[in-house]
Structure 1
Amino acid sequence: MKKLIDFKAMHEEEKLLFLPNAWDILSALVLEQAGFKAIGTTSKGVANAMGYKDGEKVQFDDLLALVKKMVSVVEIPVTVDIESGYSDSTTGVVENVLKIADLGVSGINIEDSLKNSSALNDKNRQSDLIAKIRDKLDGSGYAEFFINARIDTYLQKENPLNETIERATDYVSSGANGIFVPGLCANDEIERLVTSIDAPLNLMSLPNLTDINSLNELGVKRFSIGPVFSNAVISFIEESTRILFTEQNTKKLHANCNVTTSFK
């Protein structure tokens, strides 16, 4: 319960929550030992680490197993990206969220993109889903569990600000604790959204959205790294592998292996 309360409170502090995204146990350990206060998972990173593309290609039981192990290894709060919920039914999504909560997780991201589609879920249906998730969590002893409602308008639509505000307002009214809008990067639109919704705003790192201090001044309350960290690690592995294969020599590996992480 303490982690639930602590994680929720992190969104109410004067300085925004800088949330890194892990994709396996090793990355979670490294991030915790670097000093981060909480960790989120990245669905893309998790999928890639298991050999899949993003988009709920990972079996939900495999995600549960990973999260269970991650929560047992790190001591800081963990929030999980469950994409659109890993089920085609409202009941299935609600039950999946409860399974995640039962592992000791502090929150979820749930998106309004439809699975295997470029379309968004109907606003009213998504609001109803969030309300049912909230009711189930509250009735199961997880009233402090953080529902971060992801809105994908900026990834799919032109001039999406007004619809984003409408969706955010409805999602918060339905029980969401926070609003996550990946793709949003214009300062004036960030300010408009911050002042229009009664919930913490979460943004994601982009090539032109990297400065935490500037976002803090705009009123953003949570900043996620997203998949860029796992992408950078994959890129490093790829480049190191190319060098290893091309040069047929392991010398450069020995020059870059100063591991400082403490393992259990």
Structure 2
Amino acid sequence: MIYREEENMSRMKEFQRLHELNDLLVLGNAWDLPSAHVLEKVGFKAIGTTSWGIATSLGYSDGEAIDFELQLAVIRRIVNHVKVPVSADIESGYGPNDEAIVSNVLKVANIGGVGINIEDSLKASTGLKPLSEQCGLLAKIRSALDNSGFGDFFINARTDPYLLHHLDPLNETMTRSKHYVESGASGIFVPGLKNREEIRMIASSASAPLNVMALPDLTDCEKLKELGVRRLSLGGSLYRKMTTLLEQCAVEMLDSHDAALLFK
């Protein structure tokens, strides 16, 4: 299977539609083609790449230590070999300035991606990017996509007050969410958010679909749906689970001096 322009436009519309249904979209997060194939095979309606998983699988640390072209190569391979929509996690954009980041987003769209996650955390230091700067970036991304014929491309604006232990994460998240949507974001992603009442408040105040990340005490899709969440991401948790199972199998084989478990 290879990417076709008309197929991608259809995938973009389908990805938008999945956020508009009266249901929770569970996004399977893949780090390579085999993991993407498994997610598609078992019935996930859309796939999101995990930048952490891709970087880790290729021997890099998280935080844009990997060259963007390596990330893009994995994204392209997944897009070209699955039929479901694929959204790309591009961290803060893998660029030294807005123009480079916008160019990277267009690269994702041009290879067949239907959306991105883009975050507002600083990379050179700890903290959040100034609100005006991130809004300006989102507006430039939206404008460039629209002008290139990608009006249905999904910009999932990730905001990190909860991950960074902001002094007032609720109000900071609500403020940023409002301005991000006004600047062109299609959805809001708040990793680290887990308080039920705060989830409800953010979901009800946001004028775009709310995406949260699965956490040990934040896994029940029906309860999340009741709180107003529209999308659940797995992040790197599936990758971690896979490596844990691999380690358990390896230990059992070494301890038992028997590889029978591989054929059960």
TM bracket, shorter-chain basis: over 0.9
Q: TM-score, normalised by structure 2?
A: 0.94
What is the aligned residue count? 255
Is the 1:55–1:116 contact (alpha carbons within 8 Å) kept by the matching residues of 2? Answer: no
Query: What residue ranges of structure 1 are gaps of 5+ in the alignment?
Result: 256-264
What is the deviation of 1:244? Answer: 3.1
1:242 aligns with 2:245: no
Q: Which residue of 1 aligns with 2:209?
A: 200
Please list the CA deviations of residues 223-255 of structure 1 after superposition, one character each: whole Å capped at 9, or x if unmatched.
111111111001111222233334443222222
Gaps of at least 5 residues in structure 2 are: 1-8
Determine which of 79, 93, 99 is the counterpart of 2:107: 99
Check conservation: 2:187, 2:209, Cα contact below 8 A. yes
More divergent stretch after superposition (55-64 vs 32-41): 55-64
Q: Deviations over 1:143-174 (max 9, x none)?
A: 00000000000001133100101100110000
| Greater displacement, 155-164 / 172-181 | 155-164
1:219 aligned partner: 228
Q: 1:2-46 CA deviation, whole Å, 9 max, x = no partner?
A: 111110111111011111101110010000010111000111111
Aligned AA (2:211): N
Task: State which of 38, 45, 48 in structure 1 corresponds to 2:53.
Answer: 45
Root-mean-square deviation (CA, aligned residues, Å) is: 1.1
Q: 1:31 aligns with which of 21, 39, 43?
A: 39
Amino acid at match of 1:206: L
Identify which range, 238-247 or 102-111, moves more after superposition: 238-247
TM-score (norm 1): 0.94
- Residue number in structure 1 paired with 2:82: 74
Question: Partners in 2 of 1:234 and 1:53 — Cα distance?
Answer: 16
Distance 2:51 2:126 in 1: 17
Comparing 41-50 with 204-213, greater Cα deviation is found at 41-50
State the alpha-carbon separation in 2 of the partners of residues 149 and 224 from structure 1: 13
Answer yes or no: is the 8 Å Cα contact 2:60–2:66 preserved in 1.
Answer: yes
Say whether residues 1:147 and 2:155 are aligned partners.
Answer: yes
